[in-house]
Structure 1
Amino acid sequence: MPQIESLFVTRLYRAALNEFGEISPDELETSCFSIAGDDEAGQDWCEENGYPGYTSYASLTDLPWRFPIFADLVAALDKHVAAFAEDLEFDLDGRALKLEDLWINILPEGGMHASHIHPHSVVSGTTYVAMPEGASALKLEDPRSARMMAAPTRRTGARQEMRRFIYVTPKVGDVLLWESWLRHEVPMNMVDGERVSVSFNYGWG
């Protein structure tokens, strides 16, 4: 009988944010909209760059200082990232992965995030603050796609681990983590409602 094994696995971490702390989703959502309303630099950046909705990515670097709930959020994320690093069997030489940046995303109907990676980071992720019914899933791309050359497409209904793209539909209060080299995107939000999330990067060394 032939022996077939799966090699070079890509891990996706999914958990309830509140497994490591009590973060009020309502307070977090209110804080996100309050910051978005006050962040003129972020609003200007979004307008100048044709970014639908709002992101604090290019304007604010001190969210945990501005609102205590973001400090609580980081404390919880630190524990989730440590658990994921343990699963990945990283040899961190006695050090921990540390937060590099943290930013708010508010995507209205018609908003999207194009396919991208997070260079120079180790672990990236998102926690979900508001997800209207039918809001965009997270789309993850097989990291080998550029090397598949003449490979045929996969059959409809192929096993999840064999697909070229995986769509993950998060719930409010979920945290998703992946290694930062994994290409991902948020397809266009097709529902009448704002999809709100907080994304982040962790690095080492």
Structure 2
Amino acid sequence: MANIRSLFVTRLYHAQLKGIDPSEMEASCYSIAEDDEAGQEWCEREGFPGYTSYASLTDLPWRFPIFKDLVDQLDTHVAAFAEDAQFDLDGRNLVLEDLWINILPEGGIHTSHIHPHSVVSGTTYVAMPEGASAIKFEDPRSQMMMAAPARATDAREEMRQFIYMAPAVGDVLLWESWLRHEVPMNMAEEERVSVSFNYRWE
């Protein structure tokens, strides 16, 4: 009998935040977005749908205590993910590099991308109205499968070329920063709100 194993596993961490009020987090995100003129100007200039604080603000935990509480929880989740991934951190730590708000309106998308210079990336979900777009992850080997047939529609999850995750409010997802991902078009009439982040090794 043949022995078939899975090699070079890609891990995706999925957990639920505790003790963080989603309505307070959502109100904080909108308050920041309303006041962040530099972020608004960047989004308009770059043709970015909706709003992101990625290019404008680096101090969200200082601005609102709820973001400080969020980072405290993220530190714990990232440590658990690093342990599962069996990283040898050589006595150093994974530390928060950046944390930013995303507000995606109806029809908005975040195109496929990776997060260079980071080790672990992730998102937590603040508002996910009915019909809000999932997050889509791409098999990192895709560019090397030029002649491969398509996978069967009922293929096991670990065999698929794309995975769609539809998180709930309060969920946190973590992945290694080289994993390509995107947010397809938001089909909900209401805005999809999330907070994304990167951790570096230092």
Coarse TM-score class (shorter-chain normalised): over 0.9
- Show structure 2 runs of 5+ residues with no match: none
SS of 1:46's equivalent in the other structure is helix
* 1:1-205 matched pairs, under 5 angstroms: 1-18=1-18, 22-205=19-202
Give the alignment's TM-score, normalised by structure 1.
Answer: 0.97
SS of 2:29's equivalent in the other structure is helix
SS of 1:167's equivalent in the other structure is strand
Cα distance in 2 between the residues matched to 1:146 and 1:120: 21
Shift of residue 117, structure 1, vs aligned partner: 0.2
Cα distance in 2 between the residues matched to 1:133 and 1:87: 32
2:95 partner letter: K
Shift of residue 81, structure 1, vs aligned partner: 0.2
1:201 partner letter: N
Shift of residue 78, structure 1, vs aligned partner: 0.3
Cα distance in 2 between the residues matched to 1:175 and 1:55: 18
SS of 1:150's equivalent in the other structure is coil
1:27-79: CA deviation from partner (whole Å, max 9, x where unpaired): 11000000000000000001111111000000000101111111111011000
1:198 partner letter: V
Shift of residue 95, structure 1, vs aligned partner: 2.0
1:60 partner letter: L
Shift of residue 183, structure 1, vs aligned partner: 0.1
SS of 1:106's equivalent in the other structure is strand
Identical columns (%): 78
1:43 partner letter: Q
Q: Considering only aligned residues, what root-mean-square deviation do their CA atoms show, in Å?
A: 0.6
Once superposed, which parts of structure 1, at least 4 consecutive aligned residues long, lie more than 3 Å away? none
Q: How many residues align?
A: 202
Cα distance in 2 between the residues matched to 1:156 and 1:80: 33
1:189 partner letter: N
Shift of residue 155, structure 1, vs aligned partner: 1.2
- Show structure 1 runs of 5+ residues with no match: none
Cα distance in 2 between the residues matched to 1:161 and 1:91: 25
Give the alignment's TM-score, normalised by structure 2.
Answer: 0.99
SS of 1:90's equivalent in the other structure is coil
Cα distance in 1 between the residues matched to 2:129 and 2:103: 12
1:116-172: CA deviation from partner (whole Å, max 9, x where unpaired): 000010000000000001110000000000111211111111111111000000000
